[in-house]
Amino acid sequence: LYKAGSAATLTGAPVSNGGYNWYPVRAGGVNGWIRADMLRVLTKSEKAAMFPGETGDKPVATYRTLRLGMSGEDVVRLQNRLIELKMLAPGNAGGTYNSVTMEAVKEYQRAAGLFVDGYAGQHTQDALYGTVPPGGGDGGSTVDPTLYPVEKVDWFTGDINVVWAVGVTASITDVKTGISFRARRWAGGSHVDAEPLTSADTAAICDIYGVETSQEISDKNLYQRRPLWVTVGGRTFAGSLYGVPHNYPAGDTIPGNDWRGQFCVHFVNSRTHETANVDPDHQKAIQDAYDLAPSRK
């Protein structure tokens, strides 16, 4: 998850256990504990280099998510920034997001205390360049969940139906963006039918999709499955999101949340409404969520 030289954010006061002081921290998108003698405070120059623009008003910027195989001027800029930070060897700014660049991005994400996935998305590039997304803030998250070792649980033979029962609220993390939001399950026999808990959670989902309103998700037919980590009941599960709002008004049980109807969350071997079949795209997204997890069970 992290190594020597990684940056972590302190989240509370230390406690004593086993003859050591331990600090609660957040690193690589996961909450945990680190021994006090393993930490030191960043110097001003280190902090300024790693988090440019932190001491003043940050400019607003938007970025496309850069991943393996992509190319362009923004990839060149990313590579040059990583070279400047000594996380990428000189001579590697060729403009193609290759495996070497991906590993350098992971190294930066570990050092900066970001979620480590090798994608250079909005959060990672904001940290690299000292910018903020439109609207500022933390990129839209409404909750900062503890990620437990991620589990793949069968919908029919596992206990996900008990853990995330009807009426229970879960914390959902979009794997690709790192944005987290809350959702309450209201129904679902073949998979979970859920709703954003509040309008702020709907706004977080809109940030995930890069839209202003939930209606745009429908208008643009953004049906593509998205890998998820679903945290509920002290456990985290690999899941997949179908985020197009639907089943209004029957599936609309939370007034004032700016979402018309419901969305669907799938787990291993869950089935769709329309065909009652296992959807291979959902299963691939679930596997991606599991493979990209900081830790697995």
In DSSP notation, 78-145 reads: HHHHHHHTTSS-TT--SSB--HHHHHHHHHHHHHHT---SS-B-HHHHHHHHT-B-TT-TTSS-S--P
Biggest CA-to-CA distance, the chain? 58
What percent of the chain has pLDDT above 70? 84
Domain-wise residue ranges, the chain? 1-41, 42-137, 150-291
- Please enumerate in sequence order all residues whose Cβ is within 8 A of that of 193, keeping only pairs 6 or more positions apart, or say none: 185, 186, 187, 247, 251, 262, 263, 264
Structure tokens at 91: 């001579």
Q: What distance in Å separates the CA atoms of residue 84 and residue 109, rounded to the nearest whole number?
A: 15
Q: What distance in Å separates the CA atoms of residue 142 and residue 140, rounded to the nearest whole number?
A: 6
**Helix 122-129, helix 99-112: angle, nearest 10:** 70
- Please enumerate in sequence order all residues whose Cβ is within 8 A of that of 203, keeping only pairs 6 or more positions apart, or say none: 140, 258
Residues 170 and 144 sit within 8 Å (Cβ to Cβ): no
pLDDT of residue 136: 47
- Please enumerate in sequence order all residues whose Cβ is within 8 A of that of 106, keeping only pairs 6 or more positions apart, or say none: 116, 117, 118
187 band by pLDDT with thresholds 50, 70 and 90: very high
Superfamily of domain 42-137: PGBD-like superfamily/PGBD (1.10.101.10)
pLDDT of residue 194: 98
Q: What is the pLDDT of residues 29-54, one digit of tens each?
A: 567 788 877 777 665 556 666 665 55
- Please enumerate in sequence order all residues whose Cβ is within 8 A of that of 90, keeping only pairs 6 or more positions apart, or say none: 83
Q: What distance in Å separates the CA atoms of residue 31 and residue 145, rounded to the nearest whole number?
A: 8
Would you say residue 55 has pLDDT above 60?
no
Q: What is the pLDDT of residues 92-115, one digit of tens each?
A: 999 999 999 999 999 898 887 676
Q: What is the pLDDT of residues 232-284, one digit of tens each?
A: 998 999 999 999 999 998 889 998 889 999 999 999 999 998 778 999 999 99
- Please enumerate in sequence order all residues whose Cβ is within 8 A of that of 30, keeping only pairs 6 or more positions apart, or say none: 1, 146, 147, 294, 295
